[in-house]
Structure 1
C-alpha cells in the first residue's frame, strides 16, 4: 500500500516564480496547490495541508501575518511554513520570519535540489512531531487508565519515587486509616514517621525495597480511626536495565478480621488442650492403679490396656495441640538449649521405635560427632515424628534408614523410607498444619494423628536456627533432611 504524497500550498503573487516552484515540487512527487495572495492562502489552507511555501511580500497582507494566522488557527496550527522570498533577504528578515512562527526560510532564487531537500527535511520534522504527539496522547491515556485503576482499587495502594517520596496514594488508603493517614503526595519517609510512629516497621520495608530492588512482603499493624488494623503488605520495586530502583508500589490488604479469627481459634485450641489434660491424667492414673492392683480377668485386663493405650495417644495429641498453639501465638516453639550430643538423641529415638515396632527394620548410620547446644527433648520429639512417619507410610517388609552426619558447622540428619512417593502437588505443603499423608491401602482404622507432627517438627528445627526439607520420588523413595547449625 502506497502512502499519499504530501500536499503543499505554494503562495506567491509572482506568476512566473510560482509556476517554477510548483513545477519543481510536482516533478519531485508532491501534490501542489497554488495561491496568489495572503487571503487566498488562508482560505485554501486546511488540516490536510502538510506545508505552505510562503512569499514574505504579498500584495494584500504580509506573509509574516499569514504565517501567524496559520499557526494560531486550530485547523491549521500543525501546518509547516517555509518562507521563500526574493526581496526580504537580509539577516533581520530571516530572523523576523522565524520569530513569527516559520519553520524554515529560503532566499530566492533557490536551487531546485536544495528546495526539494528542504521540503523533505521539514516534512520529516512534521512526521516526527505527529508521532511524538500520538505517543504523548497514548502515554497520557495509559497514565489516566493507571490512575483510574489505582484510585478505584479496593485495597490501599501507595506509589513512591526512588527517594521514598510519596507520588500518589489511592482513596482506599485514606478510607482504611481515616484521620491517621499521612501518605499525602510529596511526603518523605522520615516526615511520615515523625507524624505516625506506628509506621516504623512498614517504612523499614519500604527502605529495604528501595535499597535492594527486591520485592518485600510482611504484615504490619497500623493505627486507624477504627483502632489497630493488621495489613499484609507487598512492596514491588520497579528497576531499570542497570538495576537502579525507579519507583516502589505498595499494596496492602486488611487482614484484621481474618487475623482475629485465627488468633481466637488458636487461643481456643491452646485452652482446650490445657483443660483436657486434667481429666485425661485422672483417667490414665485410674487405669494404671487398676493394672497395678491386679486380680483382673482377661477381658478386664485387655480393656485396661486399651484405656492406657488410648490415653497415651490422646496425650500425644494434646501435646501437639499445645505445641501448635505456642508456635502460632508465641512466635515459635520455645527451646532450652544445653550442651549435648544429638547423635545420642537419634540413637535413643531409634531404639524406642525398634522396641515399639518389633517387626520392622530401622537402620542407623552415623559419622562424625553430634556435639552442640540442643534441646534434646524437643529434638527427640522431632526425630521421633519423622522416623514414626517413615514406619507408618512404608511397607512393613521394607527397612527405614536413619543417617546422622556431623560437619564442622552443622549436623545433618536424614530419614529415608521406600513407601509410596509423596505426590508432587503435596510436597510444598508437607510441613503445613493439619496435614496428614495419604495412607497405604494396608492401613486400617482411623488416622492416629491430627496432622500436626511435621508442622511441629519444622518449628522445632527452626527454633534451633535450622531447616527441614523433603524429597520424594517413585525411584528414590522419600527422604526427610534436617540441618542443625552448631
Structure 2
C-alpha cells in the first residue's frame, strides 16, 4: 500500500512563476494546489495541507502576516511554511521571515532540484516531528497509567531518584501512617530520618540499594494513628546500562494482623506445651509404678507398656513444642557451649538409634578430630532428629549411613538414606515449620509427628553458627549435610 502524496499549496500572485513552481513539484510526485493571494491562502490551508510555499510580497496581505496567522491558528499551526521570494532577498528579509515562523526561506529563481530537495527535507522534518510527538504522547500516556497504578495501589509505595530524593509517595502510605507520615516530595532518606528516627532500618536499606544496586528486603515497626504497625518492605533499584542506580522503588506490606495472630499462636503453643508437662508426668509415673509393683497379667502389662510408649512420644512432642516456642519467640534455641568431643555425641546418637531399631542397618564412619566447644545435648537432639527422619523415609532393609569428619576449621556431618526422594519443589521447605513428607513409613510409633524435627535441628545448628542443607534424588538417595564451625 503506497502512501498518499504530500499536499502542497503554492501561493504566488505571479501566474508564470506560480506555474513553473507547481509544474516542478507536480513532476516530483506532489499534489499541488494554487492560490494567488494571502486571503485565498488562508482559506485553502487546512489540517490536511502539508506545506505552503509562500511568496513574501502578495497584493493583499504580506506573506509574513499570512505565515504568522497560519502558525497561530489551531487548525493550521502544524503546517510547514517555505518562503519563496524574488524581491525580499536580503539577509534581513530572510531573518524576518524565519522569525515570523517560516520553516525555510529560498530566493527565486531557484534551481528545480534544490527546490524539490528543500521540500523533501522539510517534509522529513515534519514526519520526524510527528513521530516524536506521537512517541511523547505515548510516553506521557504510559507515565499517567503508571502514576495512576501506583497511586491506586493498596500497599504503600515510594519512588526515589538516583540521588535518593523522594519523587512520589502514594496515598496508601499516608493512609497507613496518617499524621506520622514524613515522605515529603524532594526529601532525602536522611532528612526523613531526622523527622522520624524509627525509620533507621528502612533508611539503611534504601541507602544500601542506592549504593549497591541490589534488591533489599526488611521489616520495620512504625507509629501510626492506629498505633504501632508492622511492615515488611522491599527496596527495588533501577540500574542503568552503565551500572548506576537511576531510581529506587520501595513497596511495603502491613503485616500487623498476621504477625499478631502468629505471635498469639506461638505463645499459646508455648503455654500449652508447658501446661501439658504436669499431667503427662503424672501419667508416666503411674504407669511406671504399676510395672514396678508387678502382679500384672499379660493384657495389663501390654496396656501399661503402651501407655509408657505413648507418654514418651507425647513427651518428645511437648519438648519440640517448647523448643519451637523458644526459637520463634526468643530469637532462637539457646545453645550452651562447653569443651567436648563431637564424635562422642555422634557415637551416642547412633548407638541409641541401633538400640531402639535393632532391625535396621546403620553404618558409622568418623575421621579427623571432633574436639571443640559444643552444646552436646542440643547437637545430640539435632542429630537424633536427622537420624529419625532418615529411618522414617527409607525402606526397613536399606542402609542408613552417618559420616563425621573434623578438620581445622570445623566439622562436617552427613546423614544419608536410600528411599523415595524428596520432590524438588519441597526441597526449599524441608526445614520450615509444620512440614512433613507426604510419604512416610510408620515405624514403632515414630510417624505422626508435628513436623518440627527438621526445623528444630536447623535452629540448633544455626545456634552453633553452622548451616544444614539437603540433596535428594532417586539415583543417589537423600543426604543431609551439617557444617559446624569450631
TM-score greater than 0.5 by the shorter chain:
yes
Q: Which residue of 2 aligns with 1:29?
A: 29
Q: Give CA deviations for 1:233-288 in whole Å, capped at 9, x if unaligned.
A: 12221111222211111111111111100100000000111111122222223333
How much has 1:469 moved relative to structure 2?
A: 1.2
Q: Which residue of 2 aligns with 1:233?
A: 233
| Paired residue secondary structure (2:223) | strand
Change (3 A) 1:373 1:44: same
Pairing of 1:215-364 with structure 2 (within 5 A): 215-364=215-364
Change (3 A) 1:41 1:444: farther
| Paired residue secondary structure (1:241) | coil
Distance 2:342 2:111 in 1: 97
Q: Which residue of 2 aligns with 1:408?
A: 408
Q: Does the 8 Å CA contact 2:392/2:447 hold for their aligned counterparts?
A: no
- Spell out structure 1 runs of 4+ moving beyond 6 A: none
Pairing of 1:349-388 with structure 2 (within 5 A): 349-388=349-388
Q: Give CA deviations for 1:370-425 in whole Å, capped at 9, x if unaligned.
A: 23322221111111101111112211111100111233333221111111112223
Distance 2:117 2:16 in 1: 22
Distance 1:276 1:96 in 2: 99
| Paired residue secondary structure (1:365) | strand
| Paired residue secondary structure (2:276) | helix
How much has 1:294 moved relative to structure 2?
A: 4.0
Unaligned 5+ runs, structure 1: none
Distance 1:84 1:370 in 2: 98
Matched, 1:426 2:449: no
Out of 306-315 and 454-463, give the one that drifted further.
Answer: 306-315
How much has 1:444 moved relative to structure 2?
A: 8.1
Q: Does the 8 Å CA contact 2:209/2:215 hold for their aligned counterparts?
A: yes
Out of 154-163 and 431-440, give the one that drifted further.
Answer: 431-440
Q: Which residue of 2 aligns with 1:92?
A: 92
Q: Give CA deviations for 1:55-89 in whole Å, capped at 9, x if unaligned.
A: 11111111111111010001010011111111111
How much has 1:293 moved relative to structure 2?
A: 4.0
How much has 1:443 moved relative to structure 2?
A: 5.4
Q: Which residue of 2 aligns with 1:136?
A: 136
Distance 2:316 2:479 in 1: 24
Name the count of aligned residue pairs.
486
Matched, 1:62 2:50: no
Q: Does the 8 Å CA contact 2:159/2:167 hold for their aligned counterparts?
A: yes
Change (3 A) 1:441 1:459: closer
Change (3 A) 1:397 1:446: closer
Q: Give CA deviations for 1:327-353 in whole Å, capped at 9, x if unaligned.
A: 111121111122332222111111111
Distance 2:475 2:442 in 1: 21
Pairing of 1:70-109 with structure 2 (within 5 A): 70-109=70-109
How much has 1:442 moved relative to structure 2?
A: 6.9
Distance 1:368 1:116 in 2: 91
Matched, 1:435 2:461: no
How much has 1:446 moved relative to structure 2?
A: 8.2
Measured on the aligned residues, the alpha-carbon RMSD in Å equals 1.6
Distance 1:18 1:402 in 2: 102
Out of 340-349 and 42-51, give the one that drifted further.
Answer: 340-349
| Paired residue secondary structure (2:425) | coil
